[in-house]
Amino acid sequence: MSETTQTQTLEQTLNKTDLGHVLYENRKIFFGIIVAILVAVTGFLAWKKTQHHSAMDNSVKVFEFQSGIWSDVKANKTGVPELVKAFEGLDEDVRTAPVMLPVVLEMGKYLYEKGNYAEAEAILSKAGKSGHPVASFFVSMQRAVVLEKLGKVDEAIAVLEPLAQAKEALMPAKVSLELGRLYLAKGEKAKAQTQFDYVINTFPNDDQAKLAKLYLSQLAQ
């Protein structure tokens, strides 16, 4: 059967229905769309595979860091400066990976309790650039405490303010209470009162509201 006959047969078959006629008349566009979809799906699957491999690689590097130098520091086999240097030497996507979050928070707590505030800030400032909002939140909260201990109250406030202004803020009562406390430490009483009033009026049954009332009583003195 010739190509012309095959084409006519296809056309005659499709033209039996309105949908078939539309498909035939727009066959080039139709098949182009199919090709575009196939390309998009293939690209997405390849991207997902790459992401999976990247996550696996990051997990391996985090485990090596955790079981290596971090374990040595806790066992007093390696000094804190070496820990900071090793952490800063990691790729950014490893430092900010979700799987690294528990390690970062553990290191921050350890260094804070040891009085190594500058070293804790060096690590937390590098880990706080995560694109994951939950990870960034907890790192930022810990970092604000460290910055306050270093006497960098303005920087601590700058870390907390974006958390309070987020559309879907995590632990908003806690964040506002800490902001109010820092404003109070700076002597900015009006800003402090705004934060305390917000906590009391918005979360009256929260434990943070009780603390906010105590801080407000200090303002009244």
pLDDT band for position 24 (cuts 50, 70, 90):
very low
Where in the chain is CATH 1.25.40?
3-170
Its pTM stands at: 0.72
* Helix spans in 15-116 (H): 18-25, 27-65, 71-74, 80-88, 92-95, 101-114
Q: What is the pLDDT of residue 36?
A: 52
* Helix %, strand %, coil % of the chain (to 5): 80, 0, 20
Q: Out of 14-23, 53-62, 158-167, which region has the weakest mean confidence (pLDDT)?
A: 14-23
User: Quick one: 178 exposed, middle or buried, by C-beta within 10 A (0-12, 13-18, 19+)?
Assistant: buried
Render pLDDT for 184-220 as a digit per residue (tens, 0 to 9): 999 999 999 999 999 999 999 999 999 999 999 888 7
pLDDT band, very low/low/confident/very high, at 168 (cuts 50, 70, 90): confident
Higher pLDDT, 43 or 148: 148
Question: Right CATH number for 3-170 from 3.30.450, 2.40.50, 1.25.40, 3.30.70?
Answer: 1.25.40
pLDDT score recorded for residue 183? 95
